[in-house]
Chains A and B, each alone.
Chain A
Amino acid sequence: MVFMTANWHPLGDAFYRKTDLYEMGWNIGGLRDCLIAAAPYGGPIALLKGSQRSERSHSVRPVMEMYTSSGVPLASFLWKSGIVVDIGWTVSDYLLCIQEDGTVLIYDILGNYCRHFNMGSELSQNSVTEAKIFHSAYRTGVAILTKAYRFSVVTNIEDQKIWRLPDVPGLQTSGLSCWTVISQDRQTKLVLASGRNIYVLDSDSCTSVTVPGLDPDISSYLHMSASFNYKYLALYTNTGCIWMGTSNLKEKLGEFDCKFHAPPKQMVWCRRPRSQQPSVVLMWDSLLLVAGKSNESIQYNLDDELYLVPELDGVRIIGSKSHEFLHEVPATCEEIFKIASMAPGALLLEAHKEYKKESQKADEYLREIKDQNLLPTAVEQCIEAAGFEYEPETQKMLLRAASFGKSFLSNFSPERFVTMCRELRVLNAVRDYTVGMPLTYVQFRQLTVQVLIDRLVFRRLYPLAIEICKHLKIREFQGVSHVLKHWACFKVQQKEPDEDIAHAINQKLGDTAGISYSEIAAKAYECGRPELAIMLLDFEPQSGEQVPLLLKMKRGQLALNKAIESGDTDLVYTVVMYLKNEMNRRDFFLTLRKHPVALSLYRQFCKHQEQDTLKDLYNQEDDHQELANFYVQESYQEAKVEVRVAELQKAVDEYSKARNEFAAKATEEQIKLLKFQRKLQDETDKPYVDRSLHDTVYSLLLEGSHRHAEQLYKDFKIPDKRYWWLKISALAEKNDWEELEKFSKSKKSPIGYLAFVEVCVKHQNKYEAKKYVSKVTPELKVKAHLLVGEVEQAADIAIERKNENDLNLVLSRCNQSTDRSLVERLNKARSGANKK
């Protein structure tokens, strides 16, 4: 307790403190002669050694080194590209190196080159003199200044759209002393100082502004700096005066006169969110100064070259030996730890201390808080303060006090307490020297867990990331699965045998929800390991996901297998269409042949789109049967008889090849028939083509061309039964009763004589019909009588024959008008027949 406030320094209404983060693990002589860049949110540090222009020599190449915030090396490589003007980190921890020629090279956190882009061709003549990297929530931008005093800006390096800003008048003559970028609400502006003028420059205009509340004697501005969120701006004048105000330069927040005329090496804002007071940290060679709005200041003497990294809630100070954090003491901490504080949190902490000493004072303190009904506030203060403390011991002390206080409360939600414990545990883990991410609680909340996990993944700290996901109970597909996927994507780049990698990946990933093996496989393929990719794809449960990659890998056959397995016809079609364009026809057909499902789908397509392909397909397959069927189909879409015959002839050949003699013969007969019909058509000028044999004969008979009909009868070996039916139907239709009778007597009818009765009745000639009834065989006589309407005769025969079916038949024809006695007789006979 005594020591908590030892490093506190008052400034204005608040206290500032500087705490140690790390002893740096690196071994570097000093930060002099280096280009240095440190990413916010406890990100990595990049050093480009020996690049300072004054010392540039062509024989010695500079070295690019990357470290964690604790100075643990991440990567190091010789700089082989052009002259670097500035370096800086993006919001997602990629390093940007801006070269004199306007090229921006991008490296990942482990020193791997990713890509590059250029800030514009115009720059080849006008080399870059200065560059600034700026951030907004989700993007990073770059602004450059060329020798010709022209500014260009890329607001988002992802889309690389370059804006050239308008010229600023008078820069060529009066020079440019300092400038900075303000990036707010999707708007990017430049503030620049030239002599005693301040200009605001945006994409289409340049306006001169007067800074409110500044001494008019000022002749130039030596330094300017925007706050972390670009809301505020600080200006350092040649008179040693620091102006602090809003970044739109409309409001002044404070002013501090340090009386130094030399410009500071660095000037950064040190301000925590929602703090009431503006403060700026300035650094000279041997002095670090925290300036507030009053004329007070805190001064530290320096014996090391330092580098300041502005953060959301303070400033990190990196030296060659140590790494410190300077910030305004949060109000809660101040209330609890300030000497003689009577805030509820302070009392609770005290109470808990006494309690541990088993002193009764604990009760007194507690009572005091409880009497004011402030216990919940006290607990909350302790929890909140724990979050602001960097030392685990202090955190524990505060949390224990909170827990102690909480036990006296009945309906205090434990959630805040539990969350804080969990999150602090995570924070302490990533603050560890080996990880080296000195995140404060405020930064962590701003960064979000997802981003933190991504950053760990980028650094390949997979186990830690997974533990954090599990500890914070993050949903699988955002958490563990996500990390595992990245791990797997990294794993496939390792130089191990394919089988081992595939096995290892499957072992770890198993069936974890939300894992897409196809994505990992895609990565493997990208890394030039198609075999591994295929092995991985085998683990993919959804065939639909496998197919696109397999096609990309030109594994059409395999893709086809998978598509068919999936049962999704769309997928099969996708592959088939792809193969159709990729392969030569022969191979394509051969492939299809192995896959009936695909083949049938393709046939469907061909039937409508490419009739000829269909034919080729059958040809290729030696599917004579289908080919023959195809020709038959073709033939009857054809109008000309000659062509039709030709098509049919082809069909005959194919049918014979398919050993379908029946169809071959039938087709041959059809050709014969067609020819015959054609001849008839020419002779008689009546349409015969398109009729079946039966219909042809029938119409011939109707027309009375018995000679032709007979010829067909013989030529086509029409069965007698059919011929007789044809003949008698035709004669009856023509009402040629005489001929019919003659025909009936020509020889014994192969279809019996009931047929004669039927055709006569059909054409309403009962008189003729009756002629044939007597010839009908006894079994059918009842029917014949009924047909001609002779119910009584039918009944007589039925009764005589004692046949139940016949009797029923006759009975069903009886109605009211039928003679009663007849019905009775029938019924009697039926019951007699039943008994038998």
Chain B
Amino acid sequence: MAFHSRIDSSETPKFSDLKRLACDQLIYLLEQLPGRKDLFIEADLMSPLDRIANVSILKQHEVDKLYRLDNKPVISSCNQLCFLIRPHIQAVKWISDIVNSDKITGKCRKYKIIFCPQKFYVCEAVLEEQGVFGDVTCDEWEFYFLPLDDDIISLELPEFFRDYFLDGDQRWVSATAKALHYFHSLFGLPLKVYGIGKCAKITYEMWRQFIEEGEKKLSTDKTGNLFIFDRDVDFVTPLCSQVVYEGLLDDVFRIKCGSVELCSDVTASDKTIKVLLNSQDKVFNEIRNEHFSNVFGFLSQKAKNLQTAYDKRQGMDIKQMKNFVSEELKGLKQEHRLLSLHISASEYIMKRKTKLDFQELLKAEHSLLDGFNVRESISYIEEHIIRQISMIESLRLLCLLSLTENGLVSKDYRSLKSQYLQSYGIEHVLTFANLRQMGLLVEQQPGETFTAMESTVGKLVADKAVGKLTDAFSSLAKKSNFRALSKKLTLIPKSNEEYDLHSPPDMAYIFSGAYIPLSCKLIEQVLERDGWNGLEEVARMLNGNEFAVTAGGGGAGEAKPKPQSSRLMFVIFLGGCTFSEISALRFLGKQKGYKFIIITTAITNSSRLLESLNDGHS
């Protein structure tokens, strides 16, 4: 590889280099197949690819036509076909079909498969079973990271969530560990590594192994700290409705690889507009982390400022005017354009979200979170299902109910489930089976008093054997213990005072002051205590698997860390994180003087999360 010179990590590392490296490698791989070729891209990879190498770059390297890989015969007349895919069995099968059908019709072409980010043995096994192993050449494009912004890096592996947490398939775990290894070979090792969750532990250990096996000594430079977080430690947070601007945009329009497509009825023009959402967009940068109720105020203020800036023109002499046009006008125009886009987006959101039913939905959610008036919430959910308001939303509420109440009592569980099936069809028994396996929607076991018993046992004897026993119990039940956790960590701010959304006191603002996200609170607590000391019970309630290690071992002592670098925090979400969580961490960073860099397997939200578990046909 061509990264001998380590990228200097003063303060925040430059992640845009990751893009350049990925692009260079792709070009190199494309040039391995000299001459004109058609490129078939798996649907999943299209948006990420677009952020790395756009069409014109591809065309420069003799890519003739671009297609989406699909289960259908190809019409290309090119004699070289290149496929860019994730190592999915399905995709490999499609390619095999293409090759085999060419064989039947006697077409002779060259085929090359580029696996991203790595090839799996099983892909080759499939190629072999389909009898085309000898006809194709394989390569790997080690594109692990897509930097979405200065502080967000995505692995763009949405399937990580289902594959690992539902199917127990660890294939992406080693890929992630590899990615981490690669990342730190570029940006230096972390000083300390914290984590929670089984997958986090496996990932960390694999990564350690990569470091130990690594032949060339990695630089002993240390940058920041690392926190590895399993998504299944906190399902509540991603299932809540997002009310921070960026999160809302994601919920409403679905942000894809850091850009959003605003359809014509939003922009009031006749075409859809693609907007890149990152810190380069000055307007967006100021409102992305704001509670939605503040956004309009801000936007109108901004509009006024803009007007005054324009108004400066009056009374200018020619020279000033010339200056104005050449220097300021362009920036103003740009800002103007963005402002109007965000205003129309907000308007659209307003139209959809400020209706009574959204307010009621939020109210129901909040009462679920603080466990107030549960019966009322249940009937709200029931009505929601009966009226077929939204398939995914209903599921979301059901899961929230189960998570916050530690499972549903049998009667409710059954009746709500059968209501749901009546509304959306029998196939959702599969979806429910998935949700149950994940512990997202479960039935309380009859006579479940074992939370209390368990905690007394845990308190009385600190014996390991008992600890193991309770571990076994808790993993069996996969309980969420949300109520106890929320008390322990004071996740629900006191409700008797008015919550100030303009200058919020804590991270709860991202949920209108109703709830501090568990995931972010945990990170805050662990950082504050520099480990899990005093959080033992919390960790136990989260099914354990917490760890905190001073990394580097051998290299300790050398290379004194720069004082800032210990304020640099890399947070890795295995299974995805939401924009709200990112906003919360940014807030925490500002409050406590940390600089958070979020690395996630994918950006997720409640819909994506539940859709990935949905096995009913929709």
Contact = CB atoms under 8 A, between A and B. Distances in A.
Nearest to B206: A567
A79 interface: no
Contact of B120 (A570, A662, A694): A570
Contact of B429 (A570, A596, A667, A725): A667
Contact of B168 (A596, A632, A694): A596
B433 A629 contact: yes
A595 B479 CA distance: 24
A648 B427 CA distance: 11
B414 A662 contact: yes
Contacts of B129: 609
Contacts of B24: none
Nearest to B430: A629
Interface string A443-483: 00000000000000000000000000000000000000000
Nearest to B93: A608
Interface stretch (A40-48, A109-117, A166-174, A716-724): A716-724
Given A567-B173, A608-B93, A667-B426, A725 B356 contact: no
A600 B121 contact: no
A666 B421 contact: yes
B425 interface: yes
A596 B437 CA distance: 14
Interface string A638-671: 0000000000100000000000001100110110
A604 B167 contact: yes
Contacts of B168: 596-597, 600
A725 B125 contact: no
Given A574-B121, A596-B168, A601-B169, A722 B419 contact: yes
B10 interface: no
A244 B427 CA distance: 96
Contacts of A632: 426-427, 429-430
A218 interface: no
A542 interface: yes
B267 interface: no
Nearest to B354: A812
A722 B421 CA distance: 13
A765 interface: no
A597 B419 CA distance: 35
B17 interface: no
Nearest to A759: B387
Contacts of A692: 421-426
Contacts of B427: 632-633, 636
Interface string A714-738: 0010110110010001000000000
Contacts of B174: 567-570
Interface string A734-770: 0000000000000000010000000000000000000
A571 B170 CA distance: 12
Contact of B422 (A573, A604, A629, A694): A694
A716 B422 contact: yes
A577 B125 contact: yes
B429 A722 contact: no
A603 interface: yes
A608 B71 CA distance: 13
A573 B426 contact: no
A605 interface: yes
A693 interface: yes
Interface in B183-205: 202, 205
A4 B121 CA distance: 70
Contacts of B386: 719, 721-722, 725
Interface residues of A, number: 46
Choose among A570, A716, A751 the residue with the greatest number of B CB atoms under 10 Å from its CB: A570
A177 interface: no
A629 B356 contact: no
B226 to A, nearest CB: 19
Interface string A571-587: 10110010000000000
A604 B429 contact: no
Given A601-B169, A666-B429, A693 B422 contact: yes
Contacts of B383: 721, 725, 751
A715 B382 CA distance: 21
Interface in A678-720: 691-694, 716, 718-719
A783 interface: yes
Given A609-B89, A725-B387, A569 B425 contact: no
A625 interface: yes
B617 interface: yes
B213 interface: yes
A461 to B, nearest CB: 30
B525 interface: no
B90 interface: yes
Given A632-B429, A633-B430, A601 B387 contact: no
A609 B417 CA distance: 32
Contacts of B121: 570-571, 573-574, 577
B388 interface: yes
B176 to A, nearest CB: 11
Contact of B170 (A542, A567, A609, A667): A567
Given A604-B89, A721-B383, A663 B167 contact: no
Given A542-B213, A719-B419, A725-B386, A629 B171 contact: no
A439 B213 CA distance: 39
Choose among B122, B213, B427 the residue with the greatest number of A CB atoms under 10 Å from its CB: B122
B125 to A, nearest CB: 5
Nearest to B130: A609
Interface in B149-176: 163, 167-171, 173-174
B96 to A, nearest CB: 11
Choose among A604, A667, A751 the residue with the greatest number of B CB atoms under 10 Å from its CB: A604
Nearest 3 pairs of A and B residues by beta carbon: A670-B426, A569-B171, A692-B425
Given A573-B122, A605-B122, 18 more contacts: A569-B120, A569-B170, A570-B121, A573-B121, A609-B129, A629-B429, A629-B433, A632-B427, A632-B430, A666-B429, A691-B425, A692-B425, A692-B426, A693-B421, A694-B422, A719-B386, A721-B382, A729-B387
Interface of A: 542, 567-571, 573-574, 577, 596-597, 600-601, 603-605, 607-609, 625, 629, 632-633, 636, 648, 662-663, 666-667, 669-670, 673, 691-694, 716, 718-719, 721-722, 725, 729, 751, 783, 787
15 contacts: A542-B213, A567-B174, A569-B170, A570-B122, A596-B168, A597-B168, A604-B163, A608-B126, A609-B129, A629-B430, A632-B426, A667-B429, A694-B388, A694-B422, A694-B423
